Amino acid sequence: MLQAAAKTLSVATTTSVSRGILLSIRHYCKKTPATLRVSEAVSGAELGANVKVQGWVRSVRAQKSHLFLHVNDGSSLQSLQVVASSALNDPLLTFGSAVEVTGTLKKSPNQKQPVELEAEQIHIVGECNPLEFPFKIKERHGLEYIRQFPHLRCRTNAFSSLLRIRSEATTAVHLYFKENGFLQIHTPVITSNDCEGAGELFKIEPSGYEEEEHFFSVPAFLTVSGQLHLELMSGAFSKVYTFGPTFRAENSQSRRHLAEFYMVEAEVSFAQSLEDLTKVMEGMFRSATEHVFAHCAEDVDLFHKHVTPGHREIVEAMLKNRFPTITYSEAIDILNRSSENFAFPTDWGCDLQTEHEKYLVKHCGNIPVFVTDYPYDLKPFYARDNQDHPEHTAAAVDLLVPGVGELCGGSLREERLDLLRARLQQAGLEDTYSWYLDLRRFGSVPHGGFGMGFERYLQCILGVDNIKDVIPFPRFSHSCVL
């Protein structure tokens, strides 16, 4: 115990910003208080205990005889109320400063905060000049304002809630797949696949590399999708998924696009119909959303009450109803029967635009809706040919959701060697994809899969308008800060 006390003391003396009240070795040797996280302290489980809490000051109120602080350490949205004699006040106890408080956990007379920490010692670990700190005490800063300070915005309530939600949603996605027997595959970021539209690919080489030959001997790119790599795995595992960063070099600064974003992708072997995919998409959406709402209730509430009021009801309606399925042809009929003036054409064969997707979602009751069986010519080489006539379609499906538009896209994959080879030949890609054809040569099975934009998912359940506000480090054209 002497050692622990000496250590604490030594940090206090060697920290250049340290001030405030130093702990006496004598007091420490008597009893070393347990260090609790704020979430543990406010839970009430340790009432009466002598504890130490470490965190950052979220509010300061000095009265004649007493000093009130709120201390937060990111373990939950809630801060711990600290009550101290005003003798412990210090001008350096400001919004944003880091403190270490020892004292006793007591029942609070305050209904909203049932627990408070009666402080015996307050040690200021790191000061925070309120004139220079961009966030001000008691002010509710908008998401757009805090976005200007990417290295500090995690210190606001709204963005720390977002990060807890994002972390929990990540857990929820993994949990859903784990519970449903999917194997997680780390698909590569660097790939030599280049055919998905060269304009949107990032290419990579070593910095300062001047050699004529490529570092990887072939041109190498950042992945736009792990699908083909997952398909390869689905020749040995009947259910696989991947969840990681994907990239598009789109010259766009819109509220909907990022150069680096996270995608959840799954592939199901022996899938017989699009229903085998839509039930996974719907299951994942429901399961993840219920998990997040249950495990991050306060954080989600912050968004639904203060950032995007009214959004809670929209999400609840989504969860209450089964997601309907319409075919692309039915969608076109709906659009053509509507009295809306669309900017883009709605003829059979045209791609659905965001305006169309939003109309379809509204038309179906403002809940998520699956659109299936798109025109064959709109879809990439791997989409399974429905071989229907006269309207030639592919077994592809999109999930459209309120506010966001397209959340997921998927398809059955062409598992028939002859049809796939013919299509690749036509596109002049047979050699490039000889490995992909091999998958159909050896133990080929009907299979399909989908991808979901993880940021769009977060936007959808929280109602956040700008995709830059749901990712810790947004990257887009002309912006790669930090």
Q: Is 51 helix (H, G, I), strand (E, B) or coil?
A: strand
Interactions with a second copy, residue window 22-41 (CB under 8 A): 37, 39
Contact pick of 70, 164, 413, 468 for a second copy (by CB under 8 A): 164
Contact pick of 85, 110, 167, 252 for a second copy (by CB under 8 A): 167
Q: What are 36's strand-pairing partners?
A: 53
Interactions with a second copy, residue window 67-86 (CB under 8 A): 73-75
Q: How many CB atoms lie within 10 A of CB 315?
A: 20
| Cα(260)–Cα(245) distance, integer angstroms | 6
Contact pick of 83, 204, 350, 422 for a second copy (by CB under 8 A): 204
Contact pick of 23, 189, 334, 429 for a second copy (by CB under 8 A): 189
What b/e string do you get for 391-406 counting C-beta neighbours within 10 Å, with b at 16 or more? eebbbbbbbbbbbbbb
User: Structure tokens of 313?
Assistant: 């009801």
Three-state secondary structure readout of 244-260 = EEEECCCCCCCCCCCCE
- The residue written with tokens 């956040």 in the block is 464
Contact pick of 118, 200, 355, 391 for a second copy (by CB under 8 A): 200
Query: Is 251 or 321 the residue whose CB approaches a second copy more closely?
Result: 251
Per CB under 8 A, the segment of 112-120, 127-135, 360-368, 371-379 that binds a second copy is 127-135
Interactions with a second copy, residue window 287-346 (CB under 8 A): none
Cα(first)–Cα(last) distance of the chain, in Å? Answer: 41
Instruction: State in angstroms the smallest separation of the CB of 232 from a second copy.
Output: 5
Query: Is 97 or 102 the residue whose CB approaches a second copy more closely?
Result: 97
Our finding on whether 425 is near a second copy (CB under 8 A) is no
Q: What is the DSSP string of 372-409?
A: EEEEGGGS-TTBPB---SSS-EEEEEEEEETTTEEEEE
| Cα(146)–Cα(153) distance, integer angstroms | 5
Nearest to 315 by CA among 156, 469, 165, 164: 165
Our finding on whether 13 is near a second copy (CB under 8 A) is no
Our finding on whether 444 is near a second copy (CB under 8 A) is yes
Contact pick of 102, 161, 187, 411 for a second copy (by CB under 8 A): 187
Interactions with a second copy, residue window 241-270 (CB under 8 A): 244-245, 247, 249, 251, 259-260, 262, 269-270
Contact pick of 19, 83, 114, 133 for a second copy (by CB under 8 A): 133
Judge if the upstream peptide bond of residue 390 is cis by omega within 30 degrees of 0.
yes
Instruction: State in angstroms the smallest separation of the CB of 173 from a second copy.
Output: 11
Our finding on whether 92 is near a second copy (CB under 8 A) is no
DSSP state of 16: T
Burial of residue 429 (number of CB atoms within 10 Å: 0-12, 13-18, 19+)? middle
DSSP state of 431: T
Our finding on whether 154 is near a second copy (CB under 8 A) is yes
Our finding on whether 199 is near a second copy (CB under 8 A) is yes
Q: For residue 412, report the phi and psi dihedrals to the nearest 5 degrees.
A: -75, 150
Binding mask 212-231 for a second copy (x = CB under 8 A): ---xxxxxxxx-----xx--
Our finding on whether 207 is near a second copy (CB under 8 A) is yes
Our finding on whether 359 is near a second copy (CB under 8 A) is no
Instruction: State in angstroms the smallest separation of the CB of 416 from a second copy.
Output: 4
Instruction: State in angstroms the smallest separation of the CB of 355 from a second copy.
Output: 28
| Cα(400)–Cα(407) distance, integer angstroms | 6
Instruction: State in angstroms the smallest separation of the CB of 179 from a second copy.
Output: 11
Per CB under 8 A, the segment of 236-244, 310-318, 388-396, 460-468 that binds a second copy is 236-244
Per CB under 8 A, the segment of 233-241, 302-310, 315-323, 400-408 that binds a second copy is 233-241
Using CA atoms, how far residue 13 sits from 17, 52, 73, 129, in Å, is: 9, 18, 23, 21
Interactions with a second copy, residue window 380-409 (CB under 8 A): 387
DSSP state of 305: I
Per CB under 8 A, the segment of 82-90, 147-155, 304-312, 346-354 that binds a second copy is 147-155
Q: Are 157 and 269 in contact (CB under 8 A)?
A: no
Contact pick of 87, 132, 212, 377 for a second copy (by CB under 8 A): 132
What single letter denotes the amino acid at residue 457?
Y
Count residues near a second copy (CB under 8 A).
Answer: 120
Query: Is 94 or 104 the residue whose CB approaches a second copy more closely?
Result: 94
Nearest to 246 by CA among 271, 221, 211, 274: 221
